[in-house]
Each structure stands twice: as C-alpha cells, then as structure tokens.
Chains A and B, each alone.
Chain A
C-alpha cells in the first residue's frame, strides 16, 4: 500500500485553512446518529471526546484508570509552548515551527509541524477560557519561561503542575459533556482488541477490569488516544499502567507503526536505587537552568560529593558543548551522561548517576532565590531520596520518557485503517526523532481539541451512507474469542516466574541496546534475546487468580505480552535506520568527537511498519522539505 499523507495544497501557512475549506461537513441531525469511540482520557482523548460531543456526535470514552482524571498527561511538570510572542522576543509561528522541526532532527512532516505551531496560540486561549490558572504577572497578563533547546520564551506554565491543570480542564470539559448525556464514560475498562469490518475500524473489545467481563462496543469510528509506550523499558517516567496494547492490537489488525524506535530518554530523572524499583521520577528540566552537571574526574571515585575538590570535577556538558552547556537538548544531555557513567565515572550507590549541583547557583543568587525557584522540586527530591539537595548535589540519571514513534497517521490523524484515528503521544506525527520540551502537552491538546474534530467529518460523512455496525457481527465474535483465548492461555501456563520478572528482563535488554545509544550487533542480539524472552514468557509465566475478577496481575501480563512484541519491532526499526538522528543514536554513525551523523540522502523518510504474521514489512513515507532546508543540528 502506498502511504498517502494527504498533505493539502498551497503555501505552508495556508495548508490548514485550505484543508478546512475543502473538508466535508455533516449536518447536526446526522451527527447525532454517528457514534465515535475514544480510547484514553488524557489531554488528547478527553479533549477529543469532549469536543466531538460538543459537535453533536455520540461519544463513548474508555480509560483503564478509576477516573478520567488520572491519565498520565497529569504528570507533565514544565509547561506548554505557544507562539504567542507575548514576551516580544521575536517569536512567531514560523520560528516555533522551525524549532520543532529542527529539534526533531528533520524527521517529521513540515505541514504537520507547522500546523502544531499555528494552532498553539488559540490553544492557550482555549485553556485560559476553561479556567486553567496559568502563572501571571502582577498586572494580570500571562507569564512565559524558556525551555530547553530554544532561544525565546514561549512556555506557559502553572507552577510545576502544568500537565495536571490542563488535564483537569480537559477532564472537566469531558464531564460537562457526560452531564449533558453526550458522552458515556467507561472507566476501569481496557481495550484489548480492535474490530475491523470490511477493512474499516468499527469497534473494540474491552475488558471490564472490575468484573473481568469482555464487552463489545461498536462505532462508526475509533480514536486511539492511549499515550506513550516507554514502559517497554520498565523503568521509565511513565505511569505504571501506561501501555502499548491498544496501538499494538491496532497494529496487528493492519495499522502501520511509524518510527517505533524513536524514544526520548530524559536526562534529569532520579536514578534507580534498587532492583525492585518500579518507576523513575522525573525532575523538571528547568533545574538545568541553574544546576551544573558534573562527575568526578577519577574513575570509581568513592569520596562524597562535597569532599571532591573543584579541580577534580568534570563538568562534561560545559566542556563538550560550551555554547549550550548544561542546557543542551535532552537527547544530547542524556547521551553525554550515559557516556560518562559507562566510562566508570558514575556516582551514587549503584554508580548509575551524575551530579546536578546547585552550590554555585546558591552562592551566586542566594539560598532564598533558589528556594523560590525550585523549592517544590527540592522538597520532592527529599521526599523520595531523603537527601537535602541544598547541602549536597542531587543525583540524577537518564530515564526513558517520551515515545515520538507511534501509529502512522496522515495529515487527518487517520491511521492506515480507515476509520481508525490516533491522537496524542500514541501517534507519530509532529516531533520527528526528538521532542522539544513543553511540546508534548501541546501536541496532545491540539490533536484532540482542534485537529481531529475538524478531520473526522471527512471520514464520517461516508460512514453515514453505510450501515451502522452492530456487535453481533462475526468480526466481533472473532475478536472477542481471540482475546478470550489469549487470556486463557496466559492463565493456563502456571509457570515459575512472575510477570515483573519478565518485565525487568525485557527492560534490561531494551535499556542496554535500544535506548540512548544503539549498534548493529547489540540490536541483533537484543532481537534474539527478546524472542527467547517471549518464548520463555509464554512457557513459564505465572499469573494467579482468574480472568473473571479484578486481577491486576493478569492486566500486567497482558500488557507485557504486547510490550515484548513491540520491543522486537523497536529493535528492528533501530537496526534498519543506518544513521543517527535525534534520539536515535547509532554508534556506527558518529563523528570523531561523538556527535550524531545524520544521513539525509538515504534516510529522510518515516519508517512505517506493517505487521505480517509476526514479521514486519517496511514502508517508507519520503519526507519532502519544500519550505526549509534540513541543517545539521549543532549545540557546540
């Protein structure tokens, strides 16, 4: 199948308008007859569900948590970007578009990225109207701050809880429509399969997580808004429940998976402290504004941080990237940390961290100023580690964070299965090979609130002419049976190892071979190892309890089974891409001083993988740069 990205005609700044002018409309009386399923209730899911309901569609929204308000958008700390140019510092839609495209190392579509920047300003208007208490000046206007990798101040924020405030706004709007009986909410419900009828997405199979019952829901269109899959590494900044199952099931039903190996490793998380660790807590990137990152010059230095004299400290980011220093972009900062840790300079009990030191900042600005700027983060650090970071440096470590990759979508956010849409982090659209800070909340919101509600009509207009799907269709029967079979199969194994055991093993392989730096040999080995792990899982996992009850162990097992398969695809993708770009760093493709070497002539395309009975077939969507010329990213 030839991939058609459906980019509209015209100049970059006119494309979205041109699209809207030409897209089909559906009259209000008919909208009521059409129902849309939205899976996920984060910023993109709740935003889409609420807006579609406002437009008149009949919406069903599903989430695995106990309430829509828990979705992991809630955890984003830093902020949301918008090209408002409120600071009068020369920002514009074009500049934001260019920063995002460049930040992503020119591996995303111009038109999509431009639309992201273009719609950012009205999005801030929207959130302010919905009551988000963004930070303000005494005079009452909105405040901005700067964020990694850009030179203007365009980030809007609500303390260190921006994601929470945006999510609660979306959740509230969703509940407004639930109150209006236009949306039905299904919490504690996990999508376990997609139902495709005559090549079109027509429904889902859901497991009621309280009773274990499998349920069928039919719809005229299905929207996946299920977030990122970085829990494939097990230790990540994501919520424990975050998973890739919905998109993986869709992939297996025919949706192409784009750039699966593009996963961002965040440089400032708290290091792993024990084998039993379940999660890595993120410390806001803003700390790098004042903190200095260093490691001891001596390998395996066992002295306490404060006992190491200044001349024996290696401020490696300042050394390698003198112009950006500690504010180098995420992928670069993470990789540099890994390099030092691997070279034996890691600190902390497990030698897996680097220091983030505020000594100089405190000396320069005073303790009170630093407290005022980062007080809540220092408190959080103390809660988790028990260490007072005003007195000794923080220990930080890179952690798996955001997945740029996801289901391949066209300009309309439709996957390769007609009627199946993917919005937010679960798609691959705007970020290319690396996401800029504070662009994640933005993309999720824009997809859900502004793009999808404008593009879905184009498909639904044709759905009107078709018969409304019903859940007694044989395809529903078949899908439900498949789900039932795999649940039974897992429960029947009764092996000797726990689900977490396998997840830890998977995480180790993925972290070692498919995270910050990758190489051919390692990836090939990883694929073999994961295949062995997969077989071992299906032979030796033990899940207690039954499928007919609330069974958290079963939930974990089902998610892990999909992660294992996804991991193979991630490694396959990383292996195929013989270049280094953004978060994808192949050791074979670097300069003498360790910088990435991108190969535009061979790899300026989006890899879209088709599932074929356990094998993956590559399709290429060539990226055409009509309006900008890809340049080499340099932060030296």
Chain B
C-alpha cells in the first residue's frame, strides 16, 4: 500500500518546526505503524537525508516510550492502544497520515516527534513510593489486602506513563497520570502512612510543572492505552480535600 505521511520535523528545541510530506510506497498492512516509519527512515538514509526522530522501545504496548499524535488523535485512530500497537491495516491505500509530537508546554519538543516527558518523573519523585528501605519488610502475608482493594489498586497502577492523557487533554492536564499513581498507593494499606503528604506534594509538583487543570472532558480515558478511568481524578480530588483538612 501507499500512503502520504505528513510529519512534524523540528531540528531542536529552539528551532522552528514544520510539517513535511513523504509519499511512501511498498508498505504492507501487516506492518505496524512504527515499522512503516522505520521503512520511511531507511528510504531517507538512502536519499542521504537525516532520519525522522521518534520514540519507541518495547513495541508491545507496555514501556510507554512511544507516542505520537496520528491524524488528530493520541496513539492514532483507535481507543486505548499505544502507537506501537497500531498497524497499517487501520489505514487505507492512498491515505494521508498526519503525525505530530505531543503538544504540551510541559513536554517540550526535543527533536521531530520526540518530546521531553521528565515532568512525569519529577511528579513521581515527590512521593510515588513507600518510604521503606530494602530489608525492612515484614512477612508478605502479614498484610492482608482484600481482593477488591488489590484489584482496584492494580487498575490504577497499570499506567504506562506514555503521556497520551496530557497530549490529548485540551488543557494539558496531568491529572489522570498523577491520580493513577496516587490512587494505586493510597488504596493500599502500605501506602496509608504517607497518604496525605503524597497527595499534596505530588499534586503540588503537577502545578509547578505547568500542567493545566482537569475539566473532565473525558478524552484522557479514551486515549489511555490502559483504559484508566477518569473516576480516578474525582477520587484524587476527594483525597486532596481530605489531605487539606486532615494532613
């Protein structure tokens, strides 16, 4: 099959970027979207051009490193998948495919389709952990955790940190990401000791990083590869209120 890629090219963080067109032939619908870009890059090398920079690692939807805006949607036309799980069979012969990097002030473009998501790491740094040193753990079954509690925690913990929620949010809110992590830990008994501190400090960092506010459009939960529910954000709000009064 043949498609026209319209891809954002930008040399560096301070350069002006632009959309460039690439007509690519010889693709098969069994190829993943990223393999189609790999193919395009090989063609560019043979034409003596610089390759397009984009991110990926595991290519099985779990590491969270890939992620671009494809035809106006985070991770492409389907709900709840990652870019690397998207295959060319989702497009038609002759299609035009617009590919852009995540657009968010807090994720500055590094090059072409690569953005800097270290803001997420800095949110994590503020308290997405249980303060206990290696070697201090009690017997695992000494902490009984009902199945529902553990399952609920797991639902939130599934976040892969790809940033699609922020990218698709018209406000660039990182509320789903932050809420997922906080709820994962705060739902568990192990996380209780520092629950209020965790909520306050992580949300405060979210503010400092310049993310916008959640206005519950619901776009994030549709684009989230793990389908993490937006209810998590409501729960985060409840936790924050509680923390402000009690913590």
Asked whether the complex places CB atoms of A and B closer than 8 A, the reply is: yes
Q: Which chain B positions have C-beta within 8 A of A240?
A: 56-59
Contact B51 A550 (CB under 8 A): no
B126 at the interface (CB under 8 A from A): yes
**Given the contacts A70-B65, A164-B160, A386-B87, A139 and B118 also touching, CB distance less than 8 Å:** no
Q: Cβ of A66 and Cβ of B138 under 8 Å apart?
A: no
A479 at the interface (CB under 8 A from B): no
Is A586 on the interface with B (CB-CB < 8 A)?
Answer: no
CB proximity of A578 to chain B, nearest CB, Å: 37
> Of A51, A237, A276, which one neighbours B31 at CB under 8 angstroms?
A276
Q: Is the CB of B137 within 8 A of A125?
A: yes
Contacts of A277 in B (CB 8 A): 31, 35
For A383, what are the chain B residues with a Cβ–Cβ distance below 8 Å? Answer: 61, 81, 85, 87
B60 touches A172 (CB 8 A): no
Q: Which of A52-70 contact B (CB under 8 A)?
A: 54, 65-70
Q: Which residue of A lies closest to B50 (CB)?
A: A545
Which residues in B have their C-beta under 8 angstroms from that of A135? 150
Instruction: Give B163 Cβ to nearest chain A Cβ, in Å.
Output: 10
Stretch at the interface among A175-183, A215-223, A470-478: A175-183
The one of B48, B53, B59, B130 that contacts A130, using a Cβ cutoff of 8 Å: B130
A residues 450-493 in Cβ contact with B at 8 Å: 450, 453
Contacts of B110 in A (CB 8 A): 210, 550
Q: Hey, which chain B residues are within 8 Å of A125, CB to CB?
A: 137-140
Contacts of B137 in A (CB 8 A): 122, 125-126, 128-129
B42 at the interface (CB under 8 A from A): yes
**Set of chain A residues within 8 Å of B234, measured between Cβ atoms:** none
CB-CB under 8 A for A176 and B53, given A128-B140, A136-B150: no
B154 touches A159 (CB 8 A): yes
Which stretch (B93-101, B183-191, B214-222, B236-244) binds chain A?
B183-191
What residues of chain B lie closer than 8 Å to A274, measured between beta carbons? Answer: 28, 30-31, 35
Q: Looking at the complex, which one of B51, B134, B190 makes contact with A131 (CB distance below 8 Å)?
A: B190
Q: Given contacts A278-B38, A498-B46, is CB(A51)–CB(B134) below 8 Å?
A: yes
B190 touches A129 (CB 8 A): yes
Known contacts A66-B65, A125-B139, A240-B59; is A54 also within 8 Å of B117 by CB?
Answer: no
CA distance A488 to B237 in the complex (A): 54
Interface centre among B49, B136, B138, B158 (most CB of A within 10 A): B158
| Known A-B contacts A128-B190, A277-B35; A140 and B46 likewise in contact (beta carbons under 8 Å) | no
CB-based nearest B residue for A69: B161
Tell me how far the C-beta of B134 lies from the nearest C-beta in chain A, rounded to whole angstroms.
4
Separation of A616 and B121 alpha carbons in the complex (Å):
42
Contact residue among B50, B132, B134, B147 (Cβ-Cβ distance under 8 Å from A544): B50
Please judge, given known A-B contacts A70-B57, A133-B150, A380-B61, whether A86 and B45 are in contact too, CB under 8 Å: no
Query: Are B140 and A136 in contact, with the CB atoms below 8 A?
Result: no
Q: In the complex, what residues of B have CB within 8 A of residue A137's CB?
A: 147
Q: Is A529 an interface residue (CB 8 A)?
A: no
B39 CB–A CB distance under 8 Å: yes
Asked if A114 is at the interface of the complex by the 8 Å CB criterion, the answer is: no
Q: Give the residues in chain B near A543, CB-CB below 8 Å.
A: 45
Q: Which of B34, B58, B111, B130 has a CB less than 8 Å from the CB of A550?
A: B111
Do A498 and B129 have beta carbons less than 8 Å apart?
Answer: no
A552 contact set on B, CB distance < 8 A: 51, 53-54
Among A196-222, those with CB < 8 Å from B are 210
Write out, one digit per residue, whether chain B residues 133-165 have a CB within 8 A of any chain A CB (1) or not (0). 111111111011111001101100110110000
Kindly provide the distance from the CB of A350 to the nearest chain B CB, expressed in whole angstroms.
10
| Interface flag for A84 (CB, 8 Å) | yes
Complex interface: chain A residues within 8 A of B55 (CB): 66
- Bound-complex Cα distance A143 to B195 (A): 26
What residues of A have a CB within 8 angstroms of the CB of B141 in the complex?
Answer: 86, 141-142
**Pairwise interchain contact A72-B154, C-beta atoms closer than 8 A:** no
The one of B53, B59, B132 that contacts A239, using a Cβ cutoff of 8 Å: B59
> How far is the CB of A507 from the nearest CB of chain B, in Å?
14
A282 is an interface residue with CB less than 8 A from chain B: yes
Chain A contact residues (Cβ within 8 angstroms of B): what range? 35 or more
Q: What residues of A have a CB within 8 angstroms of the CB of B39 in the complex? A: 276
Name which residue of chain B comes closest to A241, CB basis: B57
Interface: A258 (CB within 8 A)? no
Chain A residues with Cβ below 8 Å from B31 are: 274, 276-277
CA distance A276 to B120 in the complex (A): 33
User: Given A142-B141, A276-B35, A500-B42, do A67 and B121 touch, yes or no (CB 8 Å)?
Assistant: yes
Q: Does A124 contact B (CB under 8 A)?
A: yes
Q: Are B121 and A276 in contact (CB under 8 A)?
A: no
**CB-CB < 8 A to B42: which residues of A?**
498, 500-501
Query: A124 CA to B141 CA in the complex, in Å?
Result: 10
Interface pair B57/A544, CB less than 8 Å apart? no
Does chain B have a CB within 8 A of A168? yes
Q: Would you call B136 and A129 a contact (CB within 8 A)?
A: yes
User: What residues on B are CB-neighbors of A498 within 8 Å?
Assistant: 42, 45-46
Inter-subunit contact B130/A75 (CB<8 Å): no
Q: Known A54-B134, A125-B138, A133-B188; judge A69-B51 contact (CB<8 A).
A: no
Identify which of residues 158-178 in chain A touch chain B, using a CB-to-CB cut-off of 8 Å: 158-159, 161, 163-165, 168, 171-173, 175-176, 178
Q: Roughly how many angstroms separate A276 CA and B124 CA in the complex, as a whole number?
A: 37
Cross-interface CB contact of A282 among B11, B41, B60, B116, cutoff 8 Å: B60
A365 at the A/B interface (Cβ < 8 Å)?
A: no
B residues less than 8 Å from A384 (CB atoms): 32, 85, 87
**CB atoms of B57 and A239 under 8 A apart:** yes
- Complex Cα–Cα for A383 and B85 (A): 7
**Cβ of A450: which chain B residues have Cβ within 8 Å of it?**
134
Q: In the complex, are the beta carbons of B150 and A130 less than 8 A apart?
A: no
B140 in contact with A131 (CB, 8 Å): no
B48 x A544 contact (CB < 8 A)? yes
Assess A67 versus B35: contact at CB under 8 Å? Given A54-B133, A276-B28.
Answer: no
Contacts of B30 in A (CB 8 A): 273-274
When chains A and B are docked, how far (Å) is the Cα of A187 from the Cα of B65? 13
| A449 & B58 in contact (Cβ 8 Å cutoff) | no
User: Closest chain A residue to B131 by CB distance?
Assistant: A176
Assuming the contacts A125-B138, A129-B138, A279-B59, asked whether A553 and B45 have C-beta atoms less than 8 A apart, the reply is yes
Kindly state whether residue A542 has any CB partner on chain B within 8 Å.
Answer: yes
Quick check: A75 and B62 within 8 Å, CB to CB? Answer: yes
- A606 on interface, CB distance cutoff 8 Å: no
When distances are taken between beta carbons in the complex, the residues of chain A under 8 Å from B153 are 131, 133
Q: Which residues of chain B are near A175, meaning CB under 8 Å?
A: 121, 124-125, 128-129
The proximity string for A residues 545-558 relative to B, scoring 1 for CB distances below 8 Å and 0 otherwise, is 10001111100000
Q: How far is the CA of A551 from the CA of B52 in the complex (A)?
A: 9
Distance in angstroms between the alpha carbons of A132 and B143 in the assembled complex: 12
User: Which residues on the A side are within 8 Å of B197 (C-beta)?
Assistant: none
The CA-CA distance from A282 to B121 in the complex, in Å, is 28
**CB–CB A129/B57 < 8 A:** no
Q: A65-B57, A129-B190, A240-B58 are in contact. List 11 more A-B contacts (CB 8 A).
A: A66-B65, A66-B118, A75-B60, A134-B150, A136-B146, A159-B154, A161-B62, A172-B129, A176-B129, A274-B28, A276-B28
A-B contact pairs, 12 of them (CB 8 A): A67-B161, A86-B141, A131-B129, A133-B157, A139-B144, A185-B121, A187-B118, A276-B31, A384-B85, A544-B49, A552-B51, A553-B51
